[in-house]
A and B are shown apart, each in its own frame.
Chain A
């Protein structure tokens, strides 16, 4: 098993890995709170959610992506710490940005939306998805080349 040296060599400091882990856990906590909110709104049949199919769909997607992607972020930080993958500065930044803007796109597009379409914030989603795709591929490449 490799130590954290390889990441340091790749220009990624352990402090940055910690920040990445922190971001993952704090965001995860935030999305869990959001999940509780959705459950509460559904449980108490809140019209703001129940009578608004676009908002329900967007919030559901925001919650699912928010929790899952932050778990991915934490997993990436752990893998990097263990030396299983290499996380370059730009890759890490891309990943950290993607896990924020992708679920945020769903959330904001559900908060303010048009009658039968999500709000314009939905355009953050494909942007985040492309960023996530690129970082996933880069991380994959780094793992293979290591």
Chain B
């Protein structure tokens, strides 16, 4: 018989054990099965951001602020940013488009020149920062509509106004299929699921938009392990023998693998081998963050072709990218990258911050300054050292490292962007490669030959072998580039002239005659930024309407300057060679 003295203690112990068992049972019964998420699929183990949020609230919050998150969304009143109520029509090439909201759903009604109409429902939105594009569903296919909303200028636009094609381009040129294109980089772990036999699609993604999985890969195993507090604390204290964390953290990868996480999308690529395209379309994207990107893809370079289609026009003739989504190619060309030790050299997150900073560029305030470069180049850290190096005043734009070593010579999504091909600014590159140079992007009134001469005077050793160009390069470079160069350079030059002033405005007024709407877009913005009181020309309007607006501008400028600008345009554009550029964002 048990001693009665011990009965209460025994009963208590039993009660506590039963309580522990109940709690443990409840925890076990309600435990999620993260490890088995999407088992058997190509995106096995990929969690949704809400799953990650349960532990990583801070990281979720910073990601939630980004434009990555809102890249692809289902269309609803919260996500549709275009004006469907007031300024809701656009007529382009004679086709009138009316944007309609009906009971919380969104539609575009296209009325052609023949008077026939077609209404298409908007199913998804793409983009939320500069432009918002719209997808309609056509059976099992999602199709990008040709009309988008410019979130910066607050107006509707035709996508011909975003790409490098002239006014008379096909109206439907940019009506493209989402399932085989955009899906790969605007979502997590795309699986087009194309049935090659009957050409049907069953497209799926792990999550719409660019969410946790896009950079951290499959985290099911990690989340499963992390359910145990003991495991988590073993991780926290970095205990020997703790189980693997089982998830990719780009900040802990070697620098090259880390860059590949971003390069997967910020570096247009071709399947390697090319035949892999079949399995990509049927099964999905084989890359997971942390893997070697080059095992699956080869970053597109200037010399690449797919059949007759060349990628050359997406690069300057020295091979440096001139479009966005080629940042990986740019960075890996840089001396900063090439001079470094593999795995321990510059990578995207050397400057960019994915969980903090300004979502517009994912840069902290510190990394917007020379601090980004002086992380390594300490020899230019003090104002005196900086002035000695740049020959510009310490606080001037000429002493901001980015302006000379990463000038804005890249186009993407209605904006001029800094190149990620970090180089020494050499004005002679304009002569050799027809590529804008950092000096003349500020000194627009200088000729390239003058910039070469000045660089030789200021840095005689570095530029002693620079060769001047022929007489074409005696022209002020702003004028030459705005009229004689191809559409990408003309666009970037108009961007560099923003805001217009009394010497550039006459040139820009002439540039409004450009056949390429994208050139006129930047031109009109430059004019409006410099002269906000004057009516802004509509870059997509018919020539007659545009000219009517421009006529209201002419009285404000010296007739002599206007005449000189017109002569310059006619003279310089007469022999230029146009190169249309397909932009793949």
A interface residue numbers (CB < 8 A to B): 53, 114-117, 120, 122-123, 130, 133-134, 137-138, 141-142, 145
What distance in Å separates the Cβ of A93 from its nearest Cβ neighbour in chain B? 14
Selected contact of B233 from candidates A117, A130, A134, A142, CB within 8 Å: A117
Chosen A-B contacts, 25 in total, with CB atoms closer than 8 Å, are A53-B57, A116-B55, A116-B56, A116-B58, A116-B59, A117-B229, A117-B233, A117-B236, A120-B233, A120-B236, A122-B229, A123-B233, A130-B16, A130-B20, A133-B15, A133-B19, A134-B13, A134-B15, A134-B16, A137-B11, A137-B16, A138-B12, A141-B8, A141-B12, A145-B8
With A115-B58, A116-B58, A145-B8 known, 8 other A-B pairs at CB within 8 A are A114-B236, A117-B232, A117-B236, A120-B233, A130-B20, A137-B12, A141-B11, A141-B12
Does residue B237 face the partner (Cβ distance < 8 Å to A)? yes
Q: Which of B57-73 contact A (CB under 8 A)?
A: 57-59
What distance in Å separates the Cβ of A56 from its nearest Cβ neighbour in chain B? 11
> Which single residue of chain B is at the shortest CB-CB distance from A90?
B9
B interface residue numbers (CB < 8 A to A): 8, 11-13, 15-16, 19-20, 55-59, 229, 232-233, 236-237
- Expressed in whole angstroms, the Cα–Cα distance for A137 and B57 within the complex equals 37
What distance in Å separates the Cβ of A131 from its nearest Cβ neighbour in chain B? 9
- Expressed in whole angstroms, the Cα–Cα distance for A63 and B148 within the complex equals 53
- Expressed in whole angstroms, the Cα–Cα distance for A100 and B187 within the complex equals 50
Q: Is the CB of A133 within 8 A of B16?
A: yes
Q: Is the CB of B12 within 8 A of A53?
A: no
What distance in Å separates the Cβ of A54 from its nearest Cβ neighbour in chain B? 8
What distance in Å separates the Cβ of A12 from its nearest Cβ neighbour in chain B? 15
What distance in Å separates the Cβ of A49 from its nearest Cβ neighbour in chain B? 14
Contact (A137, B58) CB under 8 Å given A117-B236, A120-B233, A142-B8: no
Q: Is the CB of B12 within 8 A of A134?
A: yes
What distance in Å separates the Cβ of B364 from its nearest Cβ neighbour in chain A? 16
Residues of A within 8 A of B57 (CB): 53, 116
- Expressed in whole angstroms, the Cα–Cα distance for A94 and B55 within the complex equals 33
Residues of A within 8 A of B12 (CB): 134, 137-138, 141
What distance in Å separates the Cβ of A146 from its nearest Cβ neighbour in chain B? 12
What distance in Å separates the Cβ of B26 from its nearest Cβ neighbour in chain A? 15
Selected contact of A137 from candidates B15, B55, B236, CB within 8 Å: B15
What distance in Å separates the Cβ of B245 from its nearest Cβ neighbour in chain A? 13
- Expressed in whole angstroms, the Cα–Cα distance for A138 and B233 within the complex equals 33
> Which single residue of chain A is at the shortest CB-CB distance from B59?
A116
> Which single residue of chain A is at the shortest CB-CB distance from B57?
A53
Q: Which of B13, B55, B56, B233 has the most CB of A within 10 A?
A: B233
What distance in Å separates the Cβ of B96 from its nearest Cβ neighbour in chain A? 51
Q: Is the CB of B8 within 8 A of A138?
A: yes
Residues of A within 8 A of B233 (CB): 117, 120, 123
- Expressed in whole angstroms, the Cα–Cα distance for A123 and B16 within the complex equals 17
Residues of A within 8 A of B20 (CB): 130
Residues of B within 8 A of A53 (CB): 57-58
- Expressed in whole angstroms, the Cα–Cα distance for A141 and B232 within the complex equals 38
- Expressed in whole angstroms, the Cα–Cα distance for A60 and B279 within the complex equals 53
Contact (A120, B237) CB under 8 Å given A137-B12, A137-B16, A138-B12: yes
- Expressed in whole angstroms, the Cα–Cα distance for A137 and B232 within the complex equals 32
Residues of B within 8 A of A117 (CB): 55, 229, 232-233, 236
Shortest Cβ-Cβ A-B pairs, 9 listed = A114-B236, A137-B15, A137-B12, A116-B55, A138-B12, A134-B12, A134-B16, A141-B8, A116-B56
- Expressed in whole angstroms, the Cα–Cα distance for A40 and B8 within the complex equals 46
- Expressed in whole angstroms, the Cα–Cα distance for A117 and B20 within the complex equals 23
- Expressed in whole angstroms, the Cα–Cα distance for A145 and B20 within the complex equals 25
What distance in Å separates the Cβ of B534 from its nearest Cβ neighbour in chain A? 45
Q: Which of A123, A130, A137 has the most CB of B within 10 A?
A: A137
- Expressed in whole angstroms, the Cα–Cα distance for A119 and B20 within the complex equals 23
Residues of B within 8 A of A120 (CB): 233, 236-237
> Which single residue of chain B is at the shortest CB-CB distance from A135?
B12
> Which single residue of chain A is at the shortest CB-CB distance from B13?
A134
What distance in Å separates the Cβ of B467 from its nearest Cβ neighbour in chain A? 55
- Expressed in whole angstroms, the Cα–Cα distance for A142 and B12 within the complex equals 11
Residues of A within 8 A of B19 (CB): 133
Residues of B within 8 A of A141 (CB): 8, 11-12
- Expressed in whole angstroms, the Cα–Cα distance for A114 and B226 within the complex equals 14
Residues of A within 8 A of B11 (CB): 137, 141
What distance in Å separates the Cβ of B355 from its nearest Cβ neighbour in chain A? 11
- Expressed in whole angstroms, the Cα–Cα distance for A114 and B229 within the complex equals 12
- Expressed in whole angstroms, the Cα–Cα distance for A141 and B14 within the complex equals 13
Residues of A within 8 A of B58 (CB): 53, 115-116
What distance in Å separates the Cβ of B10 from its nearest Cβ neighbour in chain A? 11
Residues of B within 8 A of A123 (CB): 233
What distance in Å separates the Cβ of B9 from its nearest Cβ neighbour in chain A? 8
What distance in Å separates the Cβ of A92 from its nearest Cβ neighbour in chain B? 14
What distance in Å separates the Cβ of B332 from its nearest Cβ neighbour in chain A? 31
- Expressed in whole angstroms, the Cα–Cα distance for A145 and B11 within the complex equals 13
> Which single residue of chain A is at the shortest CB-CB distance from B8?
A141
Q: Which of A115, A122, A145 has the most CB of B within 10 A?
A: A115
> Which single residue of chain A is at the shortest CB-CB distance from B60?
A116
Residues of A within 8 A of B229 (CB): 117, 122
- Expressed in whole angstroms, the Cα–Cα distance for A123 and B232 within the complex equals 12
What distance in Å separates the Cβ of A76 from its nearest Cβ neighbour in chain B? 16
- Expressed in whole angstroms, the Cα–Cα distance for A145 and B12 within the complex equals 14
- Expressed in whole angstroms, the Cα–Cα distance for A28 and B8 within the complex equals 30
> Which single residue of chain B is at the shortest CB-CB distance from A145?
B8
> Which single residue of chain A is at the shortest CB-CB distance from B56?
A116
> Which single residue of chain A is at the shortest CB-CB distance from B232?
A117
Residues of B within 8 A of A137 (CB): 11-12, 15-16
> Which single residue of chain A is at the shortest CB-CB distance from B11?
A141
Residues of B within 8 A of A122 (CB): 229
- Expressed in whole angstroms, the Cα–Cα distance for A137 and B17 within the complex equals 12
- Expressed in whole angstroms, the Cα–Cα distance for A120 and B234 within the complex equals 10
Q: Which of B8, B11, B55 has the most CB of A within 10 A?
A: B8
- Expressed in whole angstroms, the Cα–Cα distance for A138 and B13 within the complex equals 10
- Expressed in whole angstroms, the Cα–Cα distance for A55 and B124 within the complex equals 39
Residues of A within 8 A of B232 (CB): 117
Residues of B within 8 A of A142 (CB): 8
What distance in Å separates the Cβ of A7 from its nearest Cβ neighbour in chain B? 15
What distance in Å separates the Cβ of B224 from its nearest Cβ neighbour in chain A? 16
- Expressed in whole angstroms, the Cα–Cα distance for A123 and B236 within the complex equals 14
- Expressed in whole angstroms, the Cα–Cα distance for A114 and B236 within the complex equals 7
> Which single residue of chain A is at the shortest CB-CB distance from B19?
A133
- Expressed in whole angstroms, the Cα–Cα distance for A128 and B229 within the complex equals 17
